[in-house]
Amino acid sequence: MSAAAQESAPSYQADATTYKVIYEDQNFRVIAGTWKKGTTDKPHSHPVPFVVYALNDCSLRLRNPDGTIHETKSVAGTAFSGPITPSHTAENVGASDCQAIFVERK
């Protein structure tokens, strides 16, 4: 894996169409993520651990630069944590748009 593939820009910088910062202060950053049905976001990172709150049921296919694929299914109203992620993409493989809120501690 190349150095560029290992370290992509943070989600909200790499793909402003999918990720929008909706709140930020010295302690936290809150990001709204919206994946239209059938779309794949741009390669991006999650440079700090984060919490995700699913706004609706969602099925995503996560692809890492090394070719590994991980399928995720989120249920509306549930939350889960995610690790530091140097780079990946997320494809909405569900039947409708997918929406989630990410909370990152700075």
Centroid of chain to Cα 103: 11
pLDDT bucket at 1, cuts 50 / 70 / 90: very low
The predicted-structure confidence for 6-51, as pLDDT tens digits, reads as follows 589 999 999 999 999 999 999 999 999 999 999 999 999 999 999 9
- Kindly list the domain boundaries of the chain, sorted by start residue: 3-105
Q: Which fold has domain 3-105?
A: Jelly Rolls (2.60.120)
Model's pTM, two decimal places?
0.90
Pick from 72, 66, 9: nearest CA to 42: 9
